[in-house]
Amino acid sequence: MKISYPVFKSLLALSLGTLGVCMSEFSIMGILPAIAQSLSVSIPDAGEFISAYALGVCVGAPLTVLVARSRPLRGILLGLMIVFILGNALTALAPNAAMMIVARFVAGLPHGAYFGVASIVADKLVDRAFSVLAVSIVIAGATIANLAGVPCSTLLTQLVSWRLAYGIIAGVGLFVIVGVLVWVPRLPGLKDTGFRSQFRFLKLPGPWIIFAAIMLGNGGMFCWYSYISPFMSEVAGIPSSRMTLVMMLAGLGMVIGNTLSGRLSIRFTPAGIAGAMQGLMGLALLLAFFFGAHAPVALALMFLCTACLFGVSAPQQMLLLQNARGGEMLGAALAQVGFNIGNAIGAYCGGLSIDSGNGYAGTALIGALFALLGFLLLWGYARKYGAAR
């Protein structure tokens, strides 16, 4: 069975949700200096806003399992979008740093659960051979967010205000609700095997290997990428007025990486694709440390890193879903938990590197170490379990 037009429309509606969620998450990377100035905090301290969002993701995933594990899947998606709208509206209105941390935490609550539930819906709509491709279509919304949405947020910040940018992001949630109601079919909830049974798969080593690899890979990437705006300005010498174009290039890398990953999934295992992409990411970060002062090289390496970041996303999402029989909702959401724990650790370690005097270039070296450790875990997983699709 190929992906039919009605199924594609359903995937498109789900993809619109990932677009909104990832605009919320990633827009802050390109406008962090403006937010820091507006709220009277330093750029490293503003990195705590990124960490607060990541913490919300980590809390929201198990909370959704607790509250809604057996409810109809479409209803869960709608509820998550309501929380999304609330969190981003609070972000746009936050009067100080303390309230901003609260707002980013609330905005992060639906993130992992949305990706998890959307991945389950996508998997149920297609044959297994097309599962990674279907999930990559859902995740494509995240790449479009970074190709167009995040640069638009950066431009809006430069022309008007970062608050307007986050107000528009909150409005995206309304379109997602309409899309889900119109295009996503009613699907029954997952079988309720009890709360404890949802966690039973975590007794096995496979999910933990994948989770650790996700955490290390994203931690490595966001150690550097959380501070991509000042890195490009102060290390590579690119004027801040060009940052919108820089973020568009980063988004293009994400689109190409996600598309390539979906195509490769028809021929290769998710473990093999994820391992290759993460190893390449680690190498690119290492090169960014040594050669990031050259603007063309820095831009090319950023493009490669963002391509790999989203090239590993759909395969790792499916790996956790495949290793979470009986706890699919939690398993699928744990991919996003791993991503965002990595984001939080990465942003924190990058801030420590900057504060210790290593500058913005030092964030790439720490990031390379994290990403290469994640590659070793995926390589080990592929050798032991890689034959399974």
The single-letter DSSP state of residue 268 is: S
Phi, then psi, of 121 in degrees rounded to 5: -60, -45
Percentage of the chain exceeding pLDDT 70: 97
Tens digits of residue pLDDT in 301-358: 999 999 999 899 888 888 888 888 778 778 877 887 888 788 778 988 998 888 888 8
Q: Tell me the pTM.
A: 0.79
Where do runs of H (alpha helix) occur along the chain? Answer: 5-38, 43-68, 73-93, 97-125, 131-144, 150-159, 162-183, 205-225, 228-230, 243-264, 270-291, 295-311, 313-322, 328-355, 362-385
Q: What are the structure tokens assigned to 139, written together?
A: 């995740």
Find tokens 């997952």 and name the residue. Answer: 190
- Give the angle subtended at the CA of 348 by the CAs of 347 and 353, to the nearest 5°: 95
Q: Looking at residue 182, what is its pLDDT? A: 93
138: alpha, beta or left? (left if phi > 0; alpha if psi -120 to 50) = alpha
Task: Write b or e for each residue in 199-211: b if 16 or more Cβ atoms lie within 10 A of its Cβ, otherwise e.
Answer: bebbeeebbebbb
For the chain, how many residues are written? 389
Residue 80 to residues 87, 180, 184, Cα–Cα distance (Å) = 11, 12, 15
pLDDT at 102 over 60: yes
In this structure, the dihedral spanned by the alpha carbons of residues 272, 278, 282 and 283, taken in order and rounded to 10 degrees, is: 50
Nearest to 123 by CA among 110, 141, 139, 112: 139
User: Which residues are within 8 A (CB) of 6 and not within 5 positions of it... i.e. 6 or more apart?
Assistant: none
Q: At 1, is the pLDDT very low, low, confident or very high (cuts 50, 70, 90)?
A: very low
Q: Looking at residue 126, what is its pLDDT? A: 84
Architecture, CATH, for domain 5-385: Up-down Bundle (1.20)
Tens digits of residue pLDDT in 30-63: 788 899 999 999 887 887 898 898 889 888 978 8
pLDDT at 8 over 60: yes
Tell me the range of 142-151, 227-236, 283-292 where mean pLDDT is highest. 283-292
User: Which residues are within 8 A (CB) of 39 and not within 5 positions of it... i.e. 6 or more apart?
Assistant: 46, 94, 96, 97, 100
Find tokens 């998997």 and name the residue. Answer: 123
Tens digits of residue pLDDT in 359-376: 899 999 999 999 999 999
Tens digits of residue pLDDT in 126-153: 887 787 788 889 988 988 887 888 888 9
Tens digits of residue pLDDT in 157-215: 989 999 999 999 999 999 999 999 999 998 887 776 666 777 888 889 999 999 999 99
User: Which residues are within 8 A (CB) of 376 and not within 5 positions of it... i.e. 6 or more apart?
Assistant: none
State how far the Cα of 354 lies from the Cα of 360, in Å rounded to an integer.
6
pLDDT at 280 over 90: yes
C-beta separation of 171 from 152 below 8 A? no
Q: At 233, is the pLDDT very low, low, confident or very high (cuts 50, 70, 90)?
A: very high
C-beta separation of 145 from 255 below 8 A? no
Q: At 276, is the pLDDT very low, low, confident or very high (cuts 50, 70, 90)?
A: very high
State how far the Cα of 258 lies from the Cα of 246, in Å rounded to an integer.
19
**Rounded mean pLDDT, 241-262:** 87
C-beta separation of 219 from 349 below 8 A? yes
Residue 320 to residues 236, 307, 328, 338, Cα–Cα distance (Å) = 37, 21, 8, 11
Q: Looking at residue 248, what is its pLDDT? A: 82
State how far the Cα of 172 lies from the Cα of 178, in Å rounded to an integer.
10
Q: Looking at residue 19, what is its pLDDT? A: 95
Q: Looking at residue 343, what is its pLDDT? A: 79
Q: Looking at residue 193, what is its pLDDT? A: 67
Q: Is 228 helix (H, G, I), strand (E, B) or coil?
A: helix
For the chain, the structural domain boundaries read: 5-385
The single-letter DSSP state of residue 186 is: P
Q: Looking at residue 166, what is its pLDDT? A: 97
State how far the Cα of 190 lies from the Cα of 113, in Å rounded to an integer.
14
C-beta separation of 292 from 27 below 8 A? no
Find tokens 């539930």 and name the residue. Answer: 117
Better-predicted residue by pLDDT, 2 or 212: 212
